[in-house]
A = this chain, B = another copy of it.
């Protein structure tokens, strides 16, 4: 959908007229009261559920969660998947041209915050004629957007599901983001963010960034379970089966990471990576309240579902409990599920029956309230 009015941003800059990609599932009811907005994290899009007729392999990234009869039941809810501006999966982003100059944005694309994305999402709802959401939901960075919705537009959202998320990044989280960004920016093919002019892509940096990311998405235990110290191919007659090479692949985990890095560098935009990790770094609703999260949540009116996963060391259960406590201090209604799952941060995308069951029960209650 085209948006012709520029979007004012927290940085003081404005986003020139832009295009937003979105998808919907199910039907908006007559009262326009059953809309659920789904917010994405770093590497996802508006394509949250189902498949396209001509692309049967391209399943939505949260298809186990959203669809007919699923925890977020599209027989009852009108679900909206949106791609944020600055991303590289359909909405206007750094790979597109500035509407006036016609120049590819590259690194000139304006820096956006979680709050800016929420503003853009609110404009989409305006355009769709939806005044109030039954729920907003998201995992990880998407959870930050869901949380921010309830603070920026408290009257426009009845319920918010904030999954595997945090009220801000820790120093370690920022550190991992920064290393990934430095790998991209110092890649000679980055060309100050205007690599498109040179017909290249900073693939080396993107590969490293993705490898680092993948390590933080998985738990140590899950990695040991899946890969352990297994060699890709033991060399017969060699001590320990090793190749004794610092550059060849020895261990399965190396093979996995290189493959993930390679795939990612095929399709992900380097400037998008910088922008999205920076939005993560910046998000910190308590900042304007001297670090007091309960004070930051004073505006909240929604009911909340928070979910965390025991082995998620990127956004640990302790971070979710901080949010739960600050919401309870504001006498908000909070459902909190701490799921004992071995998979690390990635668990929020996986099929854990207790997790999916908790989300289903919470949405069932919302659906009953619609009747």
- Listed in ascending order, the chain A residues whose CB lies under 8 Å from chain B are 10-13, 107, 111, 113, 168-172, 174-176, 178-179, 181-183, 185-188, 204, 207-208, 211-212, 214-215, 218, 220, 223-224, 226-229, 238-240, 242, 244-247, 250-251, 253-254, 257-258, 261, 271, 274-275, 277-278, 281-282, 284, 287-288, 313
Contact = CB atoms under 8 A, between A and B. Distances in A.
A113 B250 CA distance: 14
Contacts of A178: 211, 251, 253-254, 257-258
Given A169-B229, A170-B220, A183-B183, 7 more contacts: A171-B226, A174-B253, A175-B257, A178-B251, A179-B257, A208-B208, A212-B212
One complex includes copies of this chain to the number of 2
Contacts of A253: 171, 174-175, 178
8 contacts: A111-B244, A170-B223, A171-B224, A171-B229, A174-B254, A182-B258, A242-B282, A245-B278
Contact of A223 (B171, B188, B218): B171
A89 to B, nearest CB: 19
Nearest to A181: B246
Contact of A176 (B182, B204, B215): B215
Given A246-B274, A284-B240, A287-B240, A207 B182 contact: yes
Contacts of A169: 229
